[in-house]
Structure 1
Amino acid sequence: MSLKVGRGAEAPPFLVMDVIAAANARAASLPAGAPGILRMEVGQPGTAAPAGAVAAAMAALQSGAPLGYTEAFGLPDLRERIARHYLEHYGLRVPAARIAVTVGASGAFPLAFLAAFDRGDRVAMAAPFYPPYANILTALGMDPVLLECGPETRFQPSLAMLEKLDPLPDGLVIASPCNPAGTMLAPEELAAIAAWCHAKGVRLISDEIYHGLSWGSVAESSAAAFSESAVIVNSFSKYWCMTGWRIGWLVLPQDLVRPVECLAQNMFISAPHVAQVAARAAMDCVEELEAKKAAYARSRSRLLEGLPQAGFDRIAAADGAFYLWCDVSHLTNDSVAFAARMLEGAGIAATPGVDFDRTRGARFLRFSYCGDEAAMAEAPARLSAWLGR
């Protein structure tokens, strides 16, 4: 007897997780004393959570308090602290009542998608894109609409691109800075897209998980500054270095507050209590976090200088986040096989572009540079030796 398998089981894999497993296996197989694997495949800071966050978690654990369920939208003092963050960093007054603490950004997206869209709705996004956007939408019965973007638009969607869509999508997902390209929308571009979405009835979902990590002169602006109907997604995983703590948040428009709250009550009950305590403390660890950011900036600078000399000279404008999106079509037309050979031959793990772009990804690689600074500095020389440069 065969049993039905639900449509959600058809979601494609998140390939970077397979790369992580391959890199772990390769590292375990190395003989003692051999050079280690340089981990450039995953967007996970190589340092621990801020010391203040760890101390707060330890104090909470040692207090004897039960640390049970919180309200579905999280601890009130954390929500208030996030609201203060918007005032201090963006000049925005966001009521804490419109902030929902979630189980990471990964837990925020299904809540936002289920509250904002119906089965069969069409949600646009730039390609390349963060794979779970499309994979979660597909699992929920919604249809991703992929907009092929290139260096001419800095791998970001443009207003002209959106205006050509017929029929209009029901939603649009943007990310600035984005994963994998690390590019940003200029504030005026973000404002124009947000205004267009609001005027056309297209629900804007703005992924702001890499805010705090920008380089150069491009100023960050939150989509909440330009649209009262936008949904903002953020997380403590990247700037705050707390990936495994699984704490994120949503800033919701008023019409989605109660729908998201009901979904969160049923799907997650609440985010982990102790992680919420730690996240609240992390927001005050500015000096330590800025030091970590400075290390990423140094790694970025070294790689932007060294990778072209090693043969990787077609790199997207790296405005923010901690990724370099490299066109490797002059080296391969199969980035999956190329990444596997690079892991074996150079001891460097990177993510094939097919994870992020279904039609053009075979000629791209993504390097993450948020790992150990000394390891990042070593990468160009290893690649140069491997390619015989």
Structure 2
Amino acid sequence: MPLKVGRGAATPPFLVMDVIAAANARAAAQPAGAPGILRMEVGQPGLGAPQGAVDAAMRALQANAPMGYTEALGLPSLRARIARHYAEHYGASVPPARIAVTVGASGAFPLAFLAAFEAGDAIAMAAPFYPPYANILTALGMRPQILPCDAATRFQPTLAMLEALHPRPAGLIIASPCNPAGTMLAPEALAAIAAWCHAAGVRLISDEIYHGLTWGTVAESTAAALSPSAIVVNSFSKYWSMTGWRVGWLVLPEDLARPVERLAQNMFISAPHIAQVAAEAAMDCVAELEGRKAAYATSRALLLDGLPRAGIDRIAAADGAFYLWCDISALSNDSVAFTARLLAEAGIAATTGLDFDPGRGAHFMRLSYCGDAALIAEAPARIARFLGR
């Protein structure tokens, strides 16, 4: 008799991870002296943790300080430092008791979803979207409710879309800046959506992981300052360049702080102790991190100037994050094949749009520009040659 397989076994892949594997294999097979692979497939800063974070971790290790479990919601000093960040950056008062340090943003999402929703609940999100939103929800027995968005809505949901939903979903996930398009909600639009969600009994989850990486067009605004019922997700992976350290956080409404703590105690115990020490120090490395941001801005400007001349001229407004969401429908209706050829023939690793929009993603690809700026600058010329320009 066959053994039962759980619903989680059917979770779709996160396709960018397959692209990473293919790019790694191609790089390993490259002959000496061959042009390098341009790693534009993954949202991982090319530089590691800021020096102050590394120094703090080294001091703790050299002192042979105990690195056991922390409290499930994180080191009190780190939670207090995150609370200070909200006061300084947004003018928002967020008590440390409402902050939960998590195993990256990836660990934050299942905690938030399990605390806020039940199996069978519908949770709305704009498409294109970060794939694990839908995949984690599905694995937990919840239902992603997709709101198709496009350039006309700047790839963000609108209040009109939400008001038209009948029945109303249990929750709404927003991201500003968003992955993959990099677009943002204007502060007034975010405030209106937050107010509507609170009044309608729709739990708002605001993914703010790319805050700090914005390019001057739209001001950052946090849902933590706009709604008493919203959940905010953030991480040290992007602005703070600490992807592998696996530290993120949640800002929770009062009614979910203890439920999330209970879940964290049982699911993760705590985020890694040494990583929390480093993360707290990273929050004071402003000068170094702003220097890295300036390098991303240079890469962004080079790509926005060079890609249209290379033949890719339909690009979403890149207000923030470090991605370009490129409409390649004039070049291909199969972005999986297109990006595979781009890697094989031009040495550029890019991500198929199907990762972010199963319905329309065959006409899109995502390019990341957070790697080495000198290498990223080569991309337009390589693409032009690939397209025969």
TM-score range, shorter chain: over 0.9
Question: Hey, what does 2:227 align to over in structure 1?
Answer: 227
1 CA distance for matches of 2:255 and 2:6?
Answer: 30
Question: Hey, what does 2:138 align to over in structure 1?
Answer: 138
Question: Hey, what does 2:255 align to over in structure 1?
Answer: 255
Deviations 1:169-209, CA, capped at 9 Å, x for gaps: 00000000000000000000000000000000000000000
Deviations 1:76-115, CA, capped at 9 Å, x for gaps: 0000000000000000110000000000000000000000
2 CA distance for matches of 1:196 and 1:63?
Answer: 51
2 CA distance for matches of 1:135 and 1:48?
Answer: 28
1 CA distance for matches of 2:30 and 2:192?
Answer: 52
2 CA distance for matches of 1:317 and 1:82?
Answer: 30
Question: Hey, what does 2:159 align to over in structure 1?
Answer: 159
> Aligned-pair distance for 1:312?
0.5
**Does residue 1:330 correspond to 2:333, yes or no?**
no
Question: Hey, what does 1:12 align to over in structure 2?
Answer: 12
Question: Hey, what does 2:312 align to over in structure 1?
Answer: 312
Question: Hey, what does 1:387 align to over in structure 2?
Answer: 387
- Paired residues of 2:176 and 2:208 also in contact (CA < 8 A): yes
Deviations 1:250-297, CA, capped at 9 Å, x for gaps: 000000011000000000000000000000000000000000000000
Counterpart of 2:84, as a letter, is R
> Aligned-pair distance for 1:2?
1.1
- Paired residues of 2:184 and 2:319 also in contact (CA < 8 A): yes
**Does residue 1:57 correspond to 2:57, yes or no?**
yes
Question: Hey, what does 2:361 align to over in structure 1?
Answer: 361
2 CA distance for matches of 1:153 and 1:223?
Answer: 20
Question: Hey, what does 2:212 align to over in structure 1?
Answer: 212
> Aligned-pair distance for 1:217?
2.7
1 CA distance for matches of 2:264 and 2:224?
Answer: 22
2 CA distance for matches of 1:150 and 1:210?
Answer: 20
> Aligned-pair distance for 1:35?
0.3
SS in 2 for 1:125: strand
> Aligned-pair distance for 1:225?
1.3
**Does residue 1:195 correspond to 2:195, yes or no?**
yes
**Equivalent pairs: percent with the same residue?**
79
Question: Hey, what does 1:32 align to over in structure 2?
Answer: 32
2 CA distance for matches of 1:286 and 1:66?
Answer: 28
Question: Hey, what does 2:43 align to over in structure 1?
Answer: 43
SS in 1 for 2:365: strand
Counterpart of 1:106, as a letter, is S
Question: Hey, what does 1:94 align to over in structure 2?
Answer: 94
2 CA distance for matches of 1:276 and 1:216?
Answer: 30
2 CA distance for matches of 1:65 and 1:319?
Answer: 42
In the TM superposition, 1:109-128 aligns within 5 A as 109-128=109-128
Question: Hey, what does 1:237 align to over in structure 2?
Answer: 237
> Aligned-pair distance for 1:245?
0.2
SS in 1 for 2:178: coil
SS in 1 for 2:72: coil
Question: Hey, what does 1:179 align to over in structure 2?
Answer: 179
Counterpart of 2:153, as a letter, is T
SS in 1 for 2:249: strand
Counterpart of 1:255, as a letter, is D
> Aligned-pair distance for 1:359?
0.6
In structure 1, runs of 5+ residues without a counterpart are none
2 CA distance for matches of 1:135 and 1:244?
Answer: 21
2 CA distance for matches of 1:3 and 1:385?
Answer: 52
Q: How many residues align?
A: 389
1 CA distance for matches of 2:114 and 2:57?
Answer: 32
2 CA distance for matches of 1:29 and 1:294?
Answer: 33
1 CA distance for matches of 2:224 and 2:268?
Answer: 25
SS in 1 for 2:378: helix
Structure 1 ranges of 4+ moved more than 6 A = none
SS in 1 for 2:217: coil
1 CA distance for matches of 2:231 and 2:61?
Answer: 33
1 CA distance for matches of 2:239 and 2:27?
Answer: 27
SS in 2 for 1:338: helix
TM-score, normalization by structure 1: 1.00
- Paired residues of 2:93 and 2:225 also in contact (CA < 8 A): no
Deviations 1:121-179, CA, capped at 9 Å, x for gaps: 00000000000000000000000000000001100000000111110000000000000
> Aligned-pair distance for 1:8?
1.2
- Paired residues of 2:197 and 2:203 also in contact (CA < 8 A): yes
- Paired residues of 2:126 and 2:157 also in contact (CA < 8 A): yes
**Does residue 1:148 correspond to 2:148, yes or no?**
yes
